[in-house]
Structure 1
């Protein structure tokens, strides 16, 4: 199946989705987890500590959300939320169903422009729109069923464990890197359609690469910064006409 339309960036890869993992169940779990997290951060005084910063992030996200209809019209009916969490961590995320958080660490340490915040948020929103979390959960559930079946069939535990490790390096991690690439490409299109310069994603990853600490690409769930920037250069140019049209 394919959870999204291809858009201008052409995301048309067939996805593996297990009937054991539904969109609705993941959204319900995400809503509960998000509510609990916000409650914890609020009690600590770390939820939306700077009203002006929160308003800035929400204004950017509110321009991105309508663009999700290009990939999947039903996303417009999600109960989107976006909050800023005070933390030194350089991170942001979007849970299934549109529950978004960005940490002050990524905004302040990288001194993000509005275009760069749009690149971050577009990427994270794309993960949710494309249902990457559900896809990964589906793959894991199918792997576990397969390993259980192998054990029932008499395959030794050591062989099963080795097969699981080979899956992670040979299939699981590459799929995660593929998800990151899809989110990069969809993210620049969302940003461009919302009137944010898609080329800012390249500058964002130039800043990120200076943070260091990257594992070898073949053992990473993320593409290397160089690989990522090369791909973003191609796809940001592809969506430049959308950006120029939105700026008129």
Structure 2
């Protein structure tokens, strides 16, 4: 498995591997995701909160957060499985199991201890995804993981909706085809708005079209660099940069290291 591409309409699985420590700043989470570290330790900084997870924990990554992450290898390296979930699946789960969700533990624990029932459901989901089962079967197993988390009182952070408003609508639109030659006029037409109206509404939410597009493309670029399969120059072009050097400088400004430096940790 490779890094997930975060298509928001289906469940996707991937692996994150490292031989050397990875310290990456401002990692965006586009779709709700679950992560299980098999080797090594993952550390997460969300604002002033610091969390840590090894094989005995499951990491819950709500959509819309941006966190600093360190992937720290053990003697045999670092290896983690990650599964991205479509928001629609979580919305259906909320509607189906509303009374159960009222019983969740208070707080915002992103790295709960992996209870036996949750671990069993997680393994079944990974087996289904690795076997390329029909999407309906994988969705059934994903709901099994969510139900096990809910019964353990651990699911509340994952079900928190991302910030709404026009910013989220634009982000979802761009996720349909991140590499397209997007412009604010094109996005406005797709959202049945005028370009000036769209700019004004984004500004009211403290964002901008260019900022959303760059954040999205850089987030996907991070996944491709970690995947290790595409040349960095090709990733730069698909991220909207004609110059690999400019892409590298922007990547370092955002994540704290260059694409080549990150590749050397794999």
Query: Is TM more than 0.5 here?
Result: no
Which has the larger share of strand?
Answer: 2
Which has the larger share of helix?
Answer: 1
TM-score, normalised to structure 1's length? 0.27
TM-score, normalised to structure 2's length? 0.25
